[in-house]
Chains A and B, each alone.
Chain A
Amino acid sequence: MSQNIVEIKDVTFTRGDRVIYKNMSFNVPKGKITAIMGPSGIGKTTMLRLIGGQLKPDSGDILFEQQSIPKMSRKILYQARKKMSMLFQSGALFTDMTVFDNVAFPIREHTSLNEELIRIIVLLKLELVGLRGAKNLMPSELSGGMARRAALARSIALDPDLIMYDEPFAGQDPISMGVLVKLIKSLNNVLNISSLIVTHDVTEVMSIADHVVIIADKGVIGEGSPQDMLKHESPLVQQFLQGLSDGPVPFHFEAKDYSKDLLSEQSEGDYQ
């Protein structure tokens, strides 16, 4: 039996004329926390959508529990999606439902459990994320950190095998961030699930990740444990992990020579 819950094999994906990935391969080990990191705009969220089957690669294969996601029929894909869940960057809570109903929503849709049992499951999940007291609040009454925790409770409602987190730490204050980091770690251990985190918050994710994949230049530039990554010889990996402004990834957007630009006449397109 494979040790990986997800396997990305030689995936090439283009959007319009732009190549996002070229022959990219990496694995997401079962029962571990895997972090996908990389500079902004590199297509990290796109990878989650590929794994979730919302997008299809141009070539290559994506295996979830040894089954090919791109080759699945809609019906089988929906069966597979019941075993995975995704925490969106915005939380994506349904704004017309209370926190309780949001968490109960996937249970009501996919099971025929009675309301009393659903109530117990929802309260258990809300307790895990510390929001049992907020069960009757509407999403508009929650802070950003609380909304993300409520969405996390909803994403674990059906006890998935894999949880994908899309930028879970973005825009969080230090306290919420610390809470989320601990939550992800404890959920992974308590529920014995696999976690895939897409982020560029290096410090936070390196403290809890078991496996790190760094994406740049349309492919994987480094893969291994956090310790391996810190010792990685690639200057690109080191620039990213240490947050250096200059290195293989340039700070400046491509432009003509600075001095020439300053001394030249008003160029076409300026001051319009």
Chain B
Amino acid sequence: MIAFWQNLGKSTIERLASIGRATSLLLGALFNVPNIKKGTPLLIKQLYSVGFLSLIIVIVSGLFIGMVLALQGYTVLQGYGAEGSLGPLVALSLLRELGPVVTALLFAGRAGSALTAEIGLMKATEQLSSLEMMAIDPLKRIVAPRFWAGMISMPLLALIFSAVGILGAHLVGVNWLGVDTGSFWSIMQAEVSFEKDILNGIIKTVVFAFLITWIALYRGYDCIPTSEGISSATTKTVVQSSLAVLGFDFVLTAIMFSS
């Protein structure tokens, strides 16, 4: 019985210490913004590897999800003679929900895992220690540019995902299944509100970007510097950030859309 309480106490202390380390890393990334001359090239490099290199998977997924949504939506709407509402159905599903959530899950798998593995390997090969010994703060040089690159690129990727998804739905709904192109666009324009749908979707993506990038950077920075430790940290990044995204999505949806 004593062993149970000891283990419980030990794991609680470890979790609290872990939260403390993660918060300290976050504050380091937030307040150690590199200066414009040295920081801009670092940020651009990270925007390329975190954002631009995630474009293909986001565009392809967005296209297919939009096409599937149109197919499924058309089948149901046709039964009520309401296939003209395919446009708003697809647009609202993508902008409010699927765009932010699916992009976040793809981002966690594509960019989050890469961030954790990269920083974990830098730790294992003593590159982080070597930066410290060169009087260069790794939080400023390594963590901060990656954090801001994640925060900037993920909302843009989600918008691209939704836009491509709508084009995919147009391709299937209008060009293939014969929905009227005028009603597809005009009802969508009438039904989609900028503030309620687009802005709330963007707020969601900013929150998801924050969660994924924070978890990915912390897991890499705090990993045990062995091959097993890096593999476990990468897995944790994908699992924890995916769960965090889904959990926060429910909370945000409840706040934003429940009347």
Point out residues on A near B: beta carbons under 8 Å: 49, 52, 54, 78-79, 81-82, 84-86, 88-90, 92-95, 105-106, 109-110
Bound Cα distance A106, B137 (Å): 12
Partner of A86, one of B127, B133, B136: B133
Bound Cα distance A84, B136 (Å): 13
Which residues from A are CB-within-8-Å of B130?
Answer: 86, 88, 92
Interface pair B134/A85, CB less than 8 Å apart: yes
Which residues from B are CB-within-8-Å of A49?
Answer: 129
Tell me how far the C-beta of A48 lies from the nearest C-beta in chain B, rounded to whole angstroms. Answer: 9
Bound Cα distance A90, B125 (Å): 7
Which residues from A are CB-within-8-Å of B125?
Answer: 90, 92, 95
Interface pair A81/B135, CB less than 8 Å apart: yes
Interface pair A89/B126, CB less than 8 Å apart: yes
Interface pair B129/A92, CB less than 8 Å apart: yes
Which residues from A are CB-within-8-Å of B126?
Answer: 88-90, 92
Which residues from A are CB-within-8-Å of B136?
Answer: 106, 109
Q: How many residues of B contact A (CB 8 A)?
A: 12
Residue B132 at the A interface, CB < 8 A?
yes
Interface pair B133/A78, CB less than 8 Å apart: no
Interface pair B135/A82, CB less than 8 Å apart: yes
Bound Cα distance A143, B137 (Å): 29
Interface pair A81/B134, CB less than 8 Å apart: yes
Bound Cα distance A204, B59 (Å): 59
Bound Cα distance A9, B127 (Å): 29
Bound Cα distance A92, B126 (Å): 5
Given A82-B135, A92-B126, A93-B127, 8 more pairs with CB closer than 8 A: A49-B129, A54-B129, A54-B132, A78-B137, A81-B132, A95-B125, A109-B38, A110-B135
Which residues from B are CB-within-8-Å of A81?
Answer: 132-135
Which residues from B are CB-within-8-Å of A85?
Answer: 133-134
Interface pair A79/B133, CB less than 8 Å apart: no
Interface pair A79/B129, CB less than 8 Å apart: no
Which residues from B are CB-within-8-Å of A84?
Answer: 133
Interface string of B108-142 (1 = CB under 8 A from A): 00000000000000000111011011111100000
Which residues from A are CB-within-8-Å of B135?
Answer: 78-79, 81-82, 110
Interchain Cβ contacts under 8 Å between A and B, 8 examples: A54-B132, A78-B137, A81-B135, A85-B134, A86-B130, A88-B130, A92-B126, A92-B130
Bound Cα distance A214, B257 (Å): 70
Bound Cα distance A89, B135 (Å): 19
Interface pair A92/B127, CB less than 8 Å apart: yes
Partner of A94, one of B127, B129, B133, B137: B127
CB nearest neighbor in B for A74: B137
Interface pair A54/B127, CB less than 8 Å apart: no
CB nearest neighbor in B for A84: B133
